[in-house]
């Protein structure tokens, strides 16, 4: 089979599985055969190595069961870097890039800011901050033993600290006013949403998705228990579900936060709530 034939076969197999078979087929060819689009145009008539071809075919079988493309590839780009990802950890999503960018903006001009990324998963948010805020001292906190190996692998040699802990108790270990910014993409799906997951999301760990009956458990925790750890003027930056802005901003008001605002992701959905400590 030539590379082009393999590419076309992958695209056809992916049509019933995904909205973007062209993109996903290209990802598989690049990952398993080392052939990007230019390579396919120039040398697509070359035979695919049989091992690589087999790898693509077995990837397609997995993808048909709804396994996320990110898990199959084992790595995924986020902002300007790449993360190791696989079963047991939430896939980094492009939607979360705006969360990280908002935090990076807020930290401009803050010398050596101390930052906590709570429910860190792959570490995408904390790592993005560490890469773009010179001198930032970033700690990623993650409870899940299944997510932990990805977090430690991704943060190795980055200078980012990792702590395996439950955020429902971890706040007790933080000294008062120790942090300049707390960022989190917590579990935020509601009970009904957990009962109707997309096939890909159903492969992701429930622990990373389940925000309690109304989806707001972690926002109640963050807006109450983590205020003491921020210095006055410090920020709490949270990813939210597209329908949660009003509820999370209201929690901010109730618990005495200032300057609450919401930002949208590049798809036009509400995605980030920012709250400042007075």
Q: Which residues would be at the binding site for ligand GLN (CB under 6 A)?
A: 93, 185-189, 201, 209
Task: Report, in Å, the least distance between residue 158 CB and ligand GLN.
Answer: 22
The 10 Å Cβ neighbour count of residue 216 is 21
Task: Report, in Å, the least distance between residue 173 CB and ligand GLN.
Answer: 23
Nearer to ligand GLN, 1 or 207 (CB): 207
Nearer to ligand GLN, 170 or 188 (CB): 188
Nearer to ligand GLN, 53 or 186 (CB): 186
CA 35 to chain centroid, in Å, comes to: 27
Nearer to ligand GLN, 154 or 201 (CB): 201
Q: Which residue has the tokens 């693509």?
A: 56
Question: Measured on CA atoms in the order 267, 142, 277, 159, is the torsion positive or negative?
Answer: negative
Q: How far is CA 2 from CA 47, 59, 94, in A?
A: 4, 17, 32
- Counting beta carbons within 10 angstroms of the beta carbon of residue 40, is it exposed (0 to 12), middle (13 to 18) or buried (19 or more)? buried
Radius of gyration (C-alpha) of the chain in whole angstroms: 20
User: How far is the C-alpha of 56 from the C-alpha of 238, rounded, in Å?
Assistant: 37
Task: Report, in Å, the least distance between residue 109 CB and ligand GLN.
Answer: 29
Nearer to ligand GLN, 103 or 209 (CB): 209
Task: Report, in Å, the least distance between residue 80 CB and ligand GLN.
Answer: 21
Task: Report, in Å, the least distance between residue 185 CB and ligand GLN.
Answer: 5
Task: Report, in Å, the least distance between residue 205 CB and ligand GLN.
Answer: 10
Nearer to ligand GLN, 56 or 90 (CB): 90
Please check whether residue 145 is in contact with residue 79, taking contact to mean a CB–CB distance below 8 angstroms.
no
Q: Which residues pair with 255 in a beta bridge?
A: none
Report the residue number whose CB is nearest to ligand GLN.
188
């Amino acid at each position: 089979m030539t590379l082009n034939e393999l590419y076309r076969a992958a695209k056809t197999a992916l049509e019933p599985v995904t909205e973007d078979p062209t993109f996903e087929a290209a990802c598989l060819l690049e990952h398993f055969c080392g052939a990007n689009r230019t390579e396919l145009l120039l040398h697509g008539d070359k035979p695919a190595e049989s091992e690589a071809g087999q790898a693509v075919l077995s990837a397609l079988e997995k993808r048909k069961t709804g396994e996320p493309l990110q898990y199959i590839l084992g790595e995924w780009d986020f902002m300007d870097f790449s993360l190791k990802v696989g079963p047991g950890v939430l896939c980094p999503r492009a939607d979360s890039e705006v969360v990280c960018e908002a935090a990076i903006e807020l930290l401009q001009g803050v010398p050596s800011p101390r930052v906590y990324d709570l429910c860190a998963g792959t570490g995408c948010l904390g790592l993005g901050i560490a890469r773009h805020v010179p001198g930032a001292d970033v700690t990623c906190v993650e409870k899940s033993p299944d997510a932990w190996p990805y977090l430690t692998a991704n943060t190795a040699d980055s200078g980012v600290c990792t702590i395996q802990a439950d955020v429902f108790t971890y706040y007790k270990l933080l000294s008062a006013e120790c942090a300049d910014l707390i960022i989190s993409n917590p579990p935020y799906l509601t009970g009904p949403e957990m009962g109707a997951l997309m096939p890909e999301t159903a492969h992701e760990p429930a622990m990373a998705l389940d925000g309690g009956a109304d989806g707001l458990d972690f926002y109640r925790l963050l807006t109450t228990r983590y205020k003491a750890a921020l210095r006055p003027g410090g920020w709490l930056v949270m990813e939210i579900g597209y329908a949660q802005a009003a509820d999370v901003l209201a929690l901010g008001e109730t618990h005495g936060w200032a300057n609450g605002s919401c930002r949208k992701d590049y798809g036009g959905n509400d995605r980030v709530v920012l709250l400042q400590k007075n």
